[in-house]
Amino acid sequence: MNPAFSVSTTETSDSDSELKPVSGRVLPPKWDVSKSVSPSGTGGLGVPTMAGSSLGVPTPGGLFPLGNSQQVVSGSATGNPRNKVALKPGFSLMDWIRLTKSGRDLTGTGGKILKVTKTELAKHNKRKDAWMAINGVVYNVTAYMDYHPGGWDELVRGAGIDATNLFNEVHRWVNYESMLAACVVGKLVDADEVAFKLPPKSKGPSSFSSLSTNSSLSAKPVIPPIKSKPQLPSIDTHQTDLTFVISVFTRVPNQLQRENIIIEILEKVHCYLSIRIPNQESEDQPFRFLSEYTLHDKARLGKVTVVTSTGKVEIVLKKESKSHWPNLGQIVEGFPKLSKAANLETRYRDWALIDRKTVTHDVDHLILEPLPNLDLHFFVPVGHHIHTKCLVEGMEIVRSYTPILANLDPFLIDDGKLHFLIKTYSHGALTPMLKALEKGQTIPISDHTGSFDIHTAFQDVRQLILVAAGTGFTPMAKLLQQFLVKKHETKSVCQLLFFNKTEQDIMCREQLKGLEIQYPIFKVHHILSQDEKWTGLKGRISREILDKVLPENPKRRLVTICGPGPFAVEAKKLFQDMDAPEGSIFHFQG
């Protein structure tokens, strides 16, 4: 058996004190920073740095950029101290998001996309009438003035001009494109490209979709669609004699959770980092930011902190010996990179079986741990799964499994191990091998994957209906736990419709019963298809069964379905026939 391995402690924080790194920001080497170079460098601007801080993120070719390099982005191009202002009540980021979604025309042009010359741009240079060009796109930032965390007096400095360099020098990591999507006026053009003409005022609401409307000046859209690919996160480092801290600024506010981050340190020197970055345009197509280093010296993984509000990730490496590192180490060729998760090769790691418990006659609870030479930050998001693979008669077989927690206690903390409920099919390809796996033996487990997003799925939900057949219960387990944590003190309802063949097939029956007693908002219905003696609900999923168990009012209902193909198809159809609104049914599948 493998010795117990302690996982890193992890925190998700919203604290404002996390917003500013102590040392200067360093761009990953692949960036073209030629336009945002600060002539005076960090030191000249008096930006405080931690004693012994290192600014180096190396490239394959050597140590780059050095602390005094022109590649180090300056503190403030404005010369002002980089202090954020206290925003007036009602002018927070959330208030800004609400305003941009309110349908109010923030462009001042009725949402029409214009060609804007520099002369025209220059006319809009006041607090109450401010246009600003960044990377070729002109925004009306008048409405944003009071929401700008740096203060309106800072923002107005970019009014009436091409503020690309100014913007980048101050805060390149800010995702202005999505923040100002409702403020797009048009494209910055040369004077001779078009004679500027403001179209008649329209009272129509402006929205993100207005970007695709045709300009009155041209038959074609005049600016390219806003890029769906997020910007490459920037990396910043600092150190003490005992620790080396890596800060990653994803520029994706209010979305990152600790589950989105995978960090691996192999043999104390090989460091791999993977951050799942949501795709604003397609929930199913997230990106992954990846980086890989050979560390300067041996270190263990320490605390990992996610600042959800800003999208910052802070990773503490604990140095094995007290020393000052000239830099983090050597970056592996081809990194850092940002790729669609779907395009990435699946990454596997060996996990060792440390325990096995019998759950039913054909289902086991398997518990696995990473090997002792691997420090790992790995938490599987609710409703996501992993892959495992093995060679069966010379053919590589890949199968999916959905981890659960150690038990169904809603307030249980993830122990960093992997727990699975796995049903053995005696004639199956892979499960007989899992059944034969002995303690201490290893299997390859992939990075987690999946499209379910609990944070958006639970928004406004008052009724959660979990429809599971057999091992289709596995994604429901964590979902149920999260719902009980979040809603147990409300008037919400959660029902598990659990379909099995016989009574002896029911997994976790006693635990589910315990939850029903402890949490009155939860109810489980067992429905058996092949049990003569069963006095409860019988049969396969049908409208009749649903009518018997579901609450009458389907308002704010979320239905999640998991089970064998035909079962899931039938379940989905039944709910669709009940006029379940678009997006209120989620089917877990590979």
Which does residue 147 bind out of ligand FAD, ligand HEM, none, counting CB within 5 to 8 angstroms by kind? none
Helix or strand run (H / E) with residue 76:
none
Nearest to 237 by CA among 26, 477, 7, 387: 26
Residue 153: which residues within 8 A CB-CB, separation 6 or more? none
Binding mask 441-480 for ligand FAD (x = CB under 6 A): ------------------------------x--x------
Amino acid at site 293: Y
Which does residue 400 bind out of ligand FAD, ligand HEM, none, counting CB within 5 to 8 angstroms by kind? ligand FAD
Amino acid at site 411: F
Shortest distance in whole angstroms from residue 423 CB to ligand FAD:
4
- 275 backbone φψ class: left, alpha, beta (φ>0; ψ -120 to 50): beta
Window 359-388: residues binding ligand FAD (CB under 6 A): 385
Pairwise CA distance, residues 225 & 183, whole Å: 14
Binding ligand FAD (rule: CB under 6 A), the pick from 184, 245, 352, 421 is 421
Q: Structure tokens of 249?
A: 């600024």
With binding defined as CB under 6 A, does residue 325 bind ligand FAD? no
In the bound state with ligand HEM, the residue whose beta carbon lies nearer, of 47 and 405, is 47
Amino acid at site 43: G
In the bound state with ligand HEM, the residue whose beta carbon lies nearer, of 138 and 493, is 138
Distance of alpha carbon 271 from its chain centroid, rounded?
20
Which does residue 422 bind out of ligand HEM, ligand FAD, none, counting CB within 5 to 8 angstroms by kind? ligand FAD
Which does residue 13 bind out of ligand FAD, ligand HEM, none, counting CB within 5 to 8 angstroms by kind? none
Shortest distance in whole angstroms from residue 168 CB to ligand HEM:
9
Q: In the complex, which residue's CB is closest to ligand HEM?
A: 150
Give SS3 for 193.
Answer: helix
Angstrom distances, CA of residue 425 to CA of 5, 280, 298, 511, 517: 31, 40, 44, 24, 33
Q: Structure tokens of 86?
A: 């206290």
Q: What angle do CA 511, 512, 515 make, to 5 degrees?
A: 90
Shortest distance in whole angstroms from residue 61 CB to ligand HEM:
31
Nearest to 221 by CA among 254, 186, 189: 186
Residues that bind ligand HEM (CB under 6 A): 19, 76, 78, 80, 82, 84, 132, 141, 144, 148-150, 154-155, 157-158, 163, 166-167, 170-171, 174, 176, 179-180, 310
Shortest distance in whole angstroms from residue 173 CB to ligand FAD:
35
With binding defined as CB under 6 A, does residue 429 bind ligand FAD? yes
Shortest distance in whole angstroms from residue 412 CB to ligand FAD:
18
Nearest to 2 by CA among 365, 371, 264, 301: 371
Shortest distance in whole angstroms from residue 94 CB to ligand HEM:
13
In the bound state with ligand HEM, the residue whose beta carbon lies nearer, of 157 and 423, is 157
Following DSSP, what letter does each residue of 490-549 receive, concatenated? SS-EEEEEEEESSGGG-SSHHHHHHHHHH-TTEEEEEEESS-TT--SEESSS-HHHHHHH
Give SS3 for 373.
Answer: coil
Binding mask 385-414 for ligand FAD (x = CB under 6 A): x-------------xxxx------------
Which does residue 429 bind out of ligand FAD, ligand HEM, none, counting CB within 5 to 8 angstroms by kind? ligand FAD
Shortest distance in whole angstroms from residue 244 CB to ligand FAD:
37
In the bound state with ligand HEM, the residue whose beta carbon lies nearer, of 45 and 166, is 166
CA atoms within 13 A on the CB side of 122: 5
Shortest distance in whole angstroms from residue 256 CB to ligand HEM:
15
In the bound state with ligand HEM, the residue whose beta carbon lies nearer, of 186 and 470, is 186
- Residues in the site for ligand FAD, rule: CB under 6 A? 385, 399-402, 420-423, 425, 427-431, 471, 474, 589-590
